[in-house]
Amino acid sequence: MSTMTLAKALNAGLRRALDANPKVLLYGEDIGKLGGVFRITEGLQKDFGEDRVIDAPLAESGIVGTSFGMAMRGYRPVVEIQFDGFVYPAFNQIVSQVAKFHNRTEGRHAVPMVIRIPYGGGIGAIEHHSESPEAYFAHTAGLKVVTCSTPNDAYWMIQQAVASDDPVIFLEPKRRYHDKGEVVHDTKPLPLHQARVVRGGTDATLITYGPMVKMCVEAAGIAEEEGRSLEVVDLRSLSPIDMVTLTNSVRRTRRGIVVHEDVQTLGLGAEIAARLSEDLFYLMESPVLRVTGHDMPYPNSRVENDFLPDVDRILDAVDRSLAY
């Protein structure tokens, strides 16, 4: 067991993946000598060489397209998209080629590649550096979409994603890169697509993922001081969604509140609310509520805290849910 930041845990997980399989390659802008803008790949080119940790030109479509070709030839490329808002030039490659190829070849060819995307706000960045594109990819059949929230999950989930024969969009909450936590090296991790009950409770379930997990745990702590017991579930996997864990939790609490940074309309919260309503309609005491970013382009850094969900907005939703 060791204590490290989420960023260092990702670095350690990638190092272990590179060690375990010579077919694993890293490819992206500035990931080699610089170690990436967030230093996630720091030191890896020095230790594994320029033919396995490869600095790419500034061309996201070319990066993903080249990595797609590598995956077709039996390699396991791990792509880094420098910031969330920079993934869109590669969108056609991802949704038209990477996501479809296994089905197009009737299962004869796998696409074992990982696309790492730092995402979300809270770092005071400029335009196109604080977006939440998860719904685009979760909507696309053929892609797996996961996101970590703790160093331990970061360490294990990146290795599981690299080992997967399916293409995985690996979302990294950039505001949590420097959060520290324990990493257990000699344990059997949760399956990649299984949700995790972070905190038990009886009055309502907070359903969240990535950067908002820490915020929901904080809100649950404050609610406990007020005599309310909130369960917190970290989805971890956004496609597929572990509905078994979610329905079991909401079956107990009879109330669900989804919290995410992405905008509300057609976000992950809408899908979760619909499926919980279909499965548990006659058991629930109130409708599934959503606490999300607002339906607008991500604002400039001076007002981003007014856009992002916070503890007050979460607790207000709890009040409304319990009032039904």
> Which residues carry out catalysis?
129
CA–CA dist 123, 300 (Å, integer): 11
| Strands 2-5, 180-183: pairing kind | antiparallel
Q: Which two tokens stand for residue 75?
A: 């390699």
SS3 282: coil
Q: Which residues contact 177 (CB under 8 A, 6 or more apart)?
A: 5, 6, 7, 38, 40, 118
CA–CA dist 236, 247 (Å, integer): 15
CA–CA dist 49, 46 (Å, integer): 6
From residue 135, how far is each of 212, 269, 318, 320 by CA, in Å?
Answer: 16, 10, 24, 26
Q: Which of 193, 144, 171, 158 is nearest to 20 (CA)?
A: 158
Phi/psi at 224 (nearest 5 deg)?
-60, -35
What sign has the CA pseudo-torsion 68, 56, 33, 73?
Answer: positive
Count helices and strands in the chain by DSSP H and E runs: 12, 14
CA-based end-to-end distance of the chain: 45
CA–CA dist 90, 114 (Å, integer): 14
